[in-house]
Structure 1
């Protein structure tokens, strides 16, 4: 039995404002400090209060897709109007993607039309992650999502029903932050055993942590690269 990916959780200084930015950009419904996903995405986004300062690029950044050059420019303009900004990460002028940051500095790219890797995904096309090949294999087994890319130590997985890909770029992997600003929240199916699932994740290479941000209703863990995630222990919609 596998767990389900319930949410991607963000640390945010102003959770409500950041939820409004991303809700407006993605076109997702805002529910308090949560975003409810569109029909092509199986997990929600949660924004949680944190005073943690951002001092390095995030372990995860986002790729938004475009069907036409005009749509790419419309997405960029909407992001800037909502409070985002252009970001220089050393990209070359001939590269087709446009790099931006949200109001709290979280990085994302608006990808050019015709990108084959992101075909048949969603407007939120990819969670592009810094990580090893081993961690891609771990998450494929943990979520029971098939590997859709496995070349040159780069990996990617995608839910069986489609939607965004989660990808790991392989070496070199940057030194991990003391705490990532984003983490996955997992839930066990209603007929599942939380303790047994935690044991299965440990057998796959995860470790249990002593504490986490989600409180007493979650078991804090880390994947083989040390990235934090939580197994939620109370029922969720």
Structure 2
């Protein structure tokens, strides 16, 4: 039994505008199936995509706080020239430079039009086949423990695990990586960016939720009421949802 990442959720005051920004940023397409804006490869809405992890921008009434998001995206580039061109294009689309204490690093830290931080990486060999999203990055206190939980939750493969960081990727070795970076501060505010997970066909959602609880997930009440998905937190309090197969 295992779950698959359905998409990355980004909360926004203006989901259509933020979705269009990310569609342009990733050279994908923005779909508007309802109140949310889904961002994925062009050619028609495929959900869940068998390879990429899409973005679903959902409306919320609250703006982002000044506190740095604990979950962010790293974008891949093919060359130094491509990195520079992408940074310039993103700024023209409304991205702004962001200071998260990065000092002198080869990547560029930006924020989307509602302040969600992300990184445009220098070209790295390991990200040559990920697509535009190189990695989903999570700040945490204990990368080893987080890698154990998420690796078992999704049956993903560990590529590197140390006290400072951990790296996971799907067992099929496709799509983005998941990176867990050690930070000294614990989570204190709700996540602006989080994951939605989905059972595989034939698997039972409630059985998967029970399995996650046994792995250390906690129940989460955000006022969701009677909905077909289940809200949980990982062992460090990062929110995520387990969706129901339609």
If the length of structure 2 is used for normalisation, what is the TM-score? Answer: 0.87
Q: Deviations over 1:100-149 (max 9, x none)?
A: 11101111111112x34535433211112101221221011100110111
Partner of 1:209: 220
Residues 1:168 and 2:183 are matched in the alignment: no
Q: CA deviation at 1:165?
A: 0.8
Contact 1:41 1:122 in 2 (8 A): no
Structure 1 distance, partners of 2:119, 2:240, is 24
Match of 1:102 among 102, 105, 112: 112
Q: 1:224 to 1:212 in 2, by over 3 A?
A: farther
Q: CA deviation at 1:199?
A: 0.8
Partner of 1:42: 52
Structure 2 distance, partners of 1:69, 1:215, is 49
Q: CA deviation at 1:213?
A: 5.0
Contact 1:212 1:220 in 2 (8 A): no
Tell me, what secondary structure is at the counterpart of 2:227?
A: helix
Q: Name the stretch that deviates more: 32-41 or 67-76.
A: 32-41
Partner of 1:57: 68
Tell me, what secondary structure is at the counterpart of 1:140?
A: helix
Q: Deviations over 1:54-82 (max 9, x none)?
A: 22000112211222111011101110111
Structure 2 distance, partners of 1:194, 1:86, is 41
Query: Structure 2 unaligned runs (5+)?
Result: 43-48
If the length of structure 1 is used for normalisation, what is the TM-score? Answer: 0.90
Structure 1 distance, partners of 2:106, 2:224, is 37
Partner of 2:45: none
Q: CA deviation at 1:175?
A: 2.9
Partner of 2:122: 112
Residues 1:150 and 2:154 are matched in the alignment: no
Residues 1:27 and 2:27 are matched in the alignment: yes
Contact 1:37 1:43 in 2 (8 A): no
Structure 2 distance, partners of 1:213, 1:44, is 22
Partner of 2:138: 129
Q: Give the number of equivalent residue pairs.
A: 232
